[in-house]
Amino acid sequence: MVPYSLLVTRLQKALGVRQYHVASVLVKYGVSFWKPGSGIIHQIILEKYEYPGVLLIGTDSHTPNGGSLGGICIGVGGLKCPKVIGVKLMGSLSGWTSPKDVILKVAGILTMKGGTGAIVEYHGPVVDSISCTGMVTVCNMGLEIGTTTSVFHYNLRMKKYMSKTCQADVANLADEFKDHLVPDPGCHYDQLIEVNFSELKLHINGPFTPDLAHPVAEVGKVAEKEECCTNSSYEDMGCSAGGAQQALAHGLKCKSQFTITPCSEQIRASIEQDGYAQTLRDVGGIVLANACGPCIGQLHRKDIKKQEKNIIVTSYNRNFMGHNDMNPKTHAFITSPETVTALAIVGTLKFNPETNYLTGKDSKKFKLEAPDADELPQFRGHLDNISNNLLSGAINIENGKANSVHDAVTHEFGPFPDTAHYYKKYGISWVVIGDENYGKGSSWEHAALEPRHLSGPGHHHQELCQDSRDQPEEAGPAAPDLPDHSEPEGLDEINLLNHTFNETEIQWFSAGSALYRTKELQQ
């Protein structure tokens, strides 16, 4: 990780040229290049470079967030032989408590210097109850207590994360060597801390230092007005949007200024696609660029003067004097993204979302439910939703109507997508018989993906037959008995059709796709 301007200077000197395309040169020499707007570098590293067991050295102070995937990831300067501090996690997270509260609690115990020269190793029987992105939150903020790095032992949540982010092969390899990626039996720690999730309180830390820990029920005595920002994973964005949606349902919007910072382009695109970003805008939030922004002093404020005393609450890592907005009179507090959202809605620190009620626009009182969200998007690409448009514009030659097909079970005509979903549920195979223009134009990819997703094993195009070996991955519930029409309707007839595939295309089709065939050849 090298500053762009410094990189340009060094490349010019090394190559003896003044004019060249930097990205092209980097590719030639095997150096990754991330354009402005790609996201915060430690999130990019998590998404693209980290894996269990890796030893990674970086120049960014947030490099240690790689411990969330079981790696020893160290920022330059922390290379002396470290002590090892063990944090044993017990109980179970519930309600409003989150992984952010874990590190805020640990920061309160160790203080800003307590982790200096040490690796903090999180372990215990309930590690699997924290999502991988939750572990990112804990490891990323570990540097605020001076640690060389933080690490979680390899666990099922890491495997789940890697499997959902196209790294299943890495997860399988980690499984093979998992005994080397967990604490040794009877290992000794230089210091051992125990954190019981069942007793963990919702925390807000600050001001002016990230290790000044307060249970949220007590921090309201400090001040009443705040401006709120968040910097979060997909899961955190989902939790924040969940709280915002509850407020909107009761006619409420934020009483404080509320800004949201996606941590990478991948996260930004996902929250836009899934509606989280719009929900946060609807409640009064502003979605900023994919950058460090307010976390590194780039919070441009017009609501207060330079020396005016005020309070902000963020879900960032740091809250030192003047760190966020360059105003030494700003009292900054740190808490979880969902708590930030709740406080932005009510506009006061004298609010405990675990116990206090809000008043809706209809004058009825209600309590915010603890938000929950998926760690990562569920049907990547939303293929199941896309398939709800299957053949919806096609004219059925049987009845001359659009989006109307005969159901072989119910004997009724209904929409193509509903019938296909029904067939998939009961493991009934089917095919598409289309004319020569089937799937032409911009719909060719959907025309191939949707029938296969809904258990259609192939397509027939005029005199073209694609005989597929593709079957549903898992057997569904027992199918209803199909009516026996073999006499006199002749449904057991076999019609042999020609195809136009060459040998390579036949191999692709038999394997399921060209990509699957490539995978077969690599094994």
User: Per-residue pLDDT tens for 161-178?
Assistant: 888 877 888 999 999 999
User: Per-residue pLDDT tens for 78-101?
Assistant: 667 889 999 999 988 777 888 888
Query: Do residues 135 and 150 make contact, with C-beta atoms less than 8 angstroms apart?
Result: no
- Provide the residue count of the chain: 523
Amino acid in the structure at residue 195: V
* Burial class for 480, CB neighbours closer than 10 Å (0-12, 13-18, 19+): exposed
Q: How much is the pTM?
A: 0.64
Query: Do residues 343 and 312 make contact, with C-beta atoms less than 8 angstroms apart?
Result: no
Among positive and negative, which fits the CA dihedral 341, 344, 349, 352? negative
Query: Do residues 103 and 142 make contact, with C-beta atoms less than 8 angstroms apart?
Result: yes
Give the span between the Cα atoms of 119 and 84, in whole angstroms: 5
For 201, other C-beta atoms within 10 Å of its C-beta total 17
Half-sphere exposure of 241 (CA within 13 A, CB side): 22
221: nearest Cα among 311, 101, 290, 300: 311
Q: Is 15 helix (H, G, I), strand (E, B) or coil?
A: helix
Q: For each of the chain's 523 residues, which pLDDT tens digit applies?
A: 455 566 666 666 665 555 556 677 777 777 777 777 787 877 888 888 889 999 888 777 778 888 999 999 887 766 678 899 999 999 887 778 888 888 888 888 888 778 888 899 999 888 888 888 889 889 988 877 888 889 999 999 999 888 887 788 899 999 999 999 999 888 899 999 999 988 887 788 877 877 787 777 777 665 544 444 545 687 888 888 888 999 999 999 999 889 888 888 888 888 887 888 899 999 999 888 877 777 777 777 777 787 888 888 888 877 788 777 778 888 888 888 888 899 999 988 888 888 899 999 989 999 888 877 777 766 745 677 778 778 877 788 888 888 889 888 888 898 888 888 888 888 888 888 777 666 654 456 677 778 878 876 544 444 333 333 333 344 455 556 555 544 475 455 677 777 778 888 888 878 877 777 888 887 7
239: nearest Cα among 374, 122, 147: 374
Which H or E element spans position 149?
Answer: strand 149-152
Instruction: Name all contacts of 74-83 with Cβ < 8 Å and 24+ positions apart.
Output: 74/148, 74/149, 75/143, 75/149, 78/148, 78/149, 80/117, 80/148, 82/117, 82/118, 82/119, 82/148, 82/149, 83/117, 83/118, 83/119, 83/190, 83/191
Residue ranges and CATH numbers for the domains of the chain are 78-200 (3.40.1060.10), 205-367 (3.30.499.10), 390-437+445-454 (no CATH)
For 471, other C-beta atoms within 10 Å of its C-beta total 11
How far is the CA of 418 from the CAs of 255, 425, 478, 483, in angstroms? Answer: 44, 11, 18, 20
Give the span between the Cα atoms of 283 and 96, in whole angstroms: 20
Give the span between the Cα atoms of 30 and 428, in whole angstroms: 49
Amino acid in the structure at residue 332: A
How far is the CA of 65 from the CAs of 58, 71, 129, in angstroms? Answer: 11, 9, 18
220: nearest Cα among 107, 333, 319, 359: 333
Q: What six digits make up the tokens of 174?
A: 């980690």
Helix, strand, coil share of the chain (percent; to 5): 35, 15, 45
